[in-house]
Chains A and B, each alone.
Chain A
Amino acid sequence: MSNATTGPDNLTGVTPDTGLKIGQSDESGPMLAADGTPLKKSLNRALRKQKIRALALIAPLLIFILATFIYPIGEMLFRSVENQIVGEVLPRTVRVLADWESENDPVPGDAVFSALTKDMMVAVEEKNHTRLGSRLNYEVSGVSSLFRKSGRSVDDFGEVYTDQFIALDPAWEDPLTFVSIFADEAWVEADAAYDGEGRRPRFLLRDGVGEVLPQTASMYRDFARVVQTEDEDSPTEEDVWNSVYLALYEDLSVQPDIPAGLPQAEMLATARGAVADFETADLRAAFVDVDEGWEETRVWQTIQQYSAPYTTGYFLNSVDLQKTPDGVDWRPENEQIYVTLFIRTMIMSTIITVSCILLGYPVAWLLANLPASKANLLMILVLLPFWTSLLVRTSAWKALLQNQGVINDLAVWIGIVADDNRLALINNATGTVIAMTHILLPFMILPLYSVMKTIPPSYLRAAKSLGATNVTAFRRVYFPQSVPGIGAGSILVFILSIGYYITPEIVGGTKGVFISNRIAYHISTSLNWGLAAALGSILLAVVLLLYWCYDRIVGIDNVKLGG
């Protein structure tokens, strides 16, 4: 192959590339067209119209594919690393928890529980805490109920501060007090003018209040947003959450300077003077009281580990690994399933592909060498399976292969198999291999046939006339030329079977299911889409890797579907 393209000058006679050599004349400058423009340029101009037309022809398909195939797949694959939910639902907690070191302190400090109280309050009102619970439940079981239970009581946490503020000055109970401190005056006017038509004016925080009372401002803004969006009400009328009072207590405890320009500056100053003597609430005890899970280091470690917006967790999970405080480690033995499934998928797909080659090759040979009328009849038989539904064929195999099925009955009747020792042909790997070989066989036969059709019978005759026996002639002359067909068929069958889902689901039992069945389970039943996406990405990567290996070993230009 290598010296094939090197020396066209060695040719003596007229060869196919003589015309080419005339084109590559030795002139120093570029070739010019008749009107003096460089030949390349005028060629490009001539071809541009063709190119545009070609592009216009494929544009509808391209757009369709992009919108319905490439984009959704990209979106799905992105889910395998996406993990924004923790940071979005628990922003304050995640920030405070960043400094926590589990070696020094098995459970984080009060600051974390205070942040958790505020985050949970918002999450509960926006109904996000259960979503977060199920997400974290993939990593540590039990977290889901932890979040659900805590969600039910979190609105009472910190009530002790509310009561003390109101005791100090009953005006603290009035929502308008908070509105006057935190709301932008323009918004107050707009909100007052709102008559129920159109969109409610969006809450705006007063300039500067965030510097004085950072936590309260942020908490109050969340409160106002939730009231507006979830309750469709005005913050001017709703009772302020306990967690806002909690934030106010914390802000005032650091004794900030209160600018005189701030509304209710006097009330705030009074409260600032009083907070030092306030009775404090033990928020940690409140959470632990609801569920002891909050005292488990594991739970907090998980929240900390998954606080980043992107995670490798799903991928680790899909190869039976997990994150532990000591780094990446194997999952417990009884939870390891994916590596086994991947290996099983690969091995069984290989077996199916090889069976298809063995069964399909002679049929394709016959097809290619029969006279056209008989070949057409045989071709119809090969294509017959395509005319019936996949589900019907698979179900038929179920009827044939089962313990009391046709094949077992026949085997017992002939006497090969004892009646009390019938063959287990279904709900295991054997069933999957048998049914899938049958279903994928046409995908092997068709490319093989179309390649064999192009091999003239004179090659075999020539080999025999040169002294080769039938076997040698086949092995050295016919078979190498049919390899591109085997390659194309194998790639087709292997890739199809690696992602096959329905047949293993129906006839595979537990021992004969593929990784795709697990992906389907996570998509539709467990709703762990991130894991499904990670498994799918790995599958895609494996297929691409195999494709690359194939290209390296056999060469992709050696794949022919005919012609």
Chain B
Amino acid sequence: MPVANDASAFVEFDRVQKSYDGEQLVVKDLNLSMPKGEFLTMLGPSGSGKTTCLMMLAGFETATHGDIRLDGKPINDIPPHKRGIGMVFQNYALFPHMTVAENLAFPLQVRKMDRNTQEEKVKRALGRVQMNDFAGRRPAQLSGGQQQRIALARALVFEPELVLMDEPLGALDKQLRETLQFEITNLAHELGITVVYVTHDQTEALTMSDRVAVFENGRIQQLAAPDELYEEPQNSFVAQFIGENNTLEGVVAEITDTTCVVKLDSGEVIDAVPVNVNKVGDRTKVSIRPERVEVDTKKLGPNAHTLKAEVLEFVYMGDIFRTRLRVAGNTDFVIKTRNSPDQTKLTPGTTIDIGWLPRDCRALDA
């Protein structure tokens, strides 16, 4: 995790706290440092403090304590309009009484650019989002996806180095969302801008970002690249929140630096990678991703774990099969298998062998 006060940091939160009512902290001791050009996503359930962080960065909320720095300069006392940060809002916030072109020209007009430059920049910005034909329309005459493109173009038209996006795709349907996710990341990398993106959709976070900050209860639980976040969650909240996850509860029986033995509550003993368990006797939640569980145990190496499992439910999902099992007393143990030619459909009621590699099995906090 990058350290605060990093010299290369472009956006920095330094021990930032925020309280609305003076009794409860919405953001508790936030430290975050972003280099220039990074696409960082703040991911978390609603009420976790991610939007508050974004609003503090934009200048619409003031930090109760701590410093927010942009390009090395503290911006706590700079009003929003002087921060030069582009922002895309959840409901687009396109001005309904202006045409698309007028909406885009607005930030240029308040910067007192001359008319020719304005026109040229508006044209270029519209071109970036393939909306040149819509310059004369009003926002109400556009579909949701088109409005979102315009909102994006408007946030970029005055060439900010930092762009904030507050759940910009939340109101769109799945297909459109996927298209726009792709467009937004492409555009961000093309223009080399730094983006802070807020969402509660983990798929969105994983596919778009360079790094993801997982928020919970006013704190960043883990800040890491998507693959690291998924494969090496640092605590059970992150493991649960990102992707699907199977949890087996137990107590640490033996522990070394690289391995530990967990005695499950149902009596079985398994090997796991110790992540944040410290000593023998700690309660732990062991996390295993559904797709890392193998039904054909022969494929696994000799040091693999195998357990008996009872098939409870089988769901056909097209590209994959999702099977719910009873494993070590846990009836919500899910495995995912690819719909490959040699794959058999499991029948509910039968008992099978399942197994996994110990490195895919992480002992996290209870």
Contact = CB atoms under 8 A, between A and B. Distances in A.
Contacts of A1: 138
A15 interface: yes
B110 A465 contact: no
Nearest to B151: A462
Contact of A13 (B86, B89, B136, B146): B146
15 contacts: A3-B136, A12-B133, A456-B91, A458-B89, A462-B89, A462-B95, A463-B95, A464-B60, A465-B83, A465-B164, A466-B106, A466-B110, A466-B154, A468-B81, A473-B81
A355 to B, nearest CB: 26
Interface string A7-28: 0001011111000000000000
B80 A477 contact: no
Contacts of B298: none
Given A13-B146, A464-B80, A466-B106, A477 B95 contact: yes
A458 B85 CA distance: 15
A463 B154 CA distance: 11
A476 B106 contact: yes
Interface string B235-262: 0000000000000000000000000000
B97 interface: yes
CB-based closest 3 A-B pairs: A466-B107, A462-B93, A465-B87
Given A10-B133, A13-B145, A467 B97 contact: no
Contacts of B196: none
A311 to B, nearest CB: 50
A465 B138 contact: no
Interface string B316-336: 000000000000000000000
Contacts of B107: 466-468
Contacts of B94: 462
Contacts of B81: 464-470, 473
Nearest to A461: B60
A472 interface: yes
A476 B146 CA distance: 23
Given A465-B155, A473-B81, 6 more contacts: A12-B133, A14-B145, A15-B142, A465-B87, A467-B84, A467-B111
B286 interface: no
A81 to B, nearest CB: 45
Contact of A467 (B110, B133, B164): B110
A459 B106 CA distance: 12
A481 B106 contact: no
A202 B82 CA distance: 96
B97 A480 contact: yes
B106 A463 contact: yes
A459 B93 contact: yes
B58 A465 contact: yes
A472 B143 contact: no
A11 to B, nearest CB: 8
A392 interface: no
A4 interface: yes
Contact of B93 (A3, A4, A15, A458): A458
Contacts of A473: 81
B137 interface: yes
Contacts of B133: 10, 12
Interface string A63-81: 0000000000000000000
B141 interface: yes
Contacts of A465: 58-59, 80-81, 83, 85-87, 155, 164
B97 to A, nearest CB: 5
Interface of A: 1, 3-4, 10, 12-16, 456, 458-459, 461-470, 472-473, 476-477, 480-481
A469 B112 CA distance: 13
B158 interface: yes
B97 A481 contact: yes
Nearest to B143: A15
Most chain-B CB neighbours within 10 Å: which of A10, A462, A473, A481?
Answer: A462
B348 interface: no
A451 to B, nearest CB: 12
Given A15-B142, A458-B89, A463-B106, A4 B97 contact: no
A15 to B, nearest CB: 4
A467 B143 contact: no
A468 B141 contact: no
A3 B138 CA distance: 10
A225 B111 CA distance: 91
Interface in B84-105: 84-87, 89-91, 93-97
Contacts of A462: 87, 89, 93-95
Name which of A1, A3, A458, A470 has the most chain B CB atoms within 10 A of its CB.
A458
Contact of B110 (A10, A456, A468): A468
Contacts of B85: 465
Contacts of B154: 466
Nearest to A10: B133
Interface in B102-142: 106-107, 110-111, 133-134, 136-138, 141-142
Interface in B130-186: 133-134, 136-138, 141-143, 145-146, 154-155, 158, 164
A477 B110 CA distance: 12
Contacts of A463: 95, 106
Contacts of B138: 1, 4
Nearest to A8: B141
Contacts of B142: 15
> Residue among B85, B106, B133, B137 with the most chain A CB within 10 A?
B106
A468 B107 CA distance: 7
A440 B134 CA distance: 44
Contact of B89 (A14, A461, A476): A461
A477 B83 CA distance: 19
Contacts of B58: 461, 465
B110 A472 contact: yes
Nearest to A455: B96
A220 B134 CA distance: 87
Contacts of A15: 142-143, 146
Interface string B59-74: 1100000000000000
A481 B96 contact: yes
Contacts of B95: 459, 462-463, 477, 481
Contacts of A470: 81
Nearest to B96: A481
Contacts of A469: 79, 81, 110
Contacts of B80: 461, 464-465
Contacts of A477: 95
A13 B143 contact: yes
A233 B22 CA distance: 99
B114 to A, nearest CB: 16
Contacts of B83: 465
B98 to A, nearest CB: 8
B110 A458 contact: no
A462 B60 CA distance: 10
Given A465-B58, A466-B154, A472-B110, A14 B143 contact: yes
B247 to A, nearest CB: 39
A429 to B, nearest CB: 37
A200 B252 CA distance: 123
Interface-centre pick from B91, B96, B141 (highest chain A CB count, 10 A): B141
A458 B106 contact: no
B84 A4 contact: no
Contacts of A472: 110
Contact of B158 (A4, A13, A466, A481): A466
A14 B144 CA distance: 9
A57 B8 CA distance: 72
A16 B141 CA distance: 8
Contacts of B59: 464-465
Contacts of A461: 58, 60, 80, 87, 89, 93
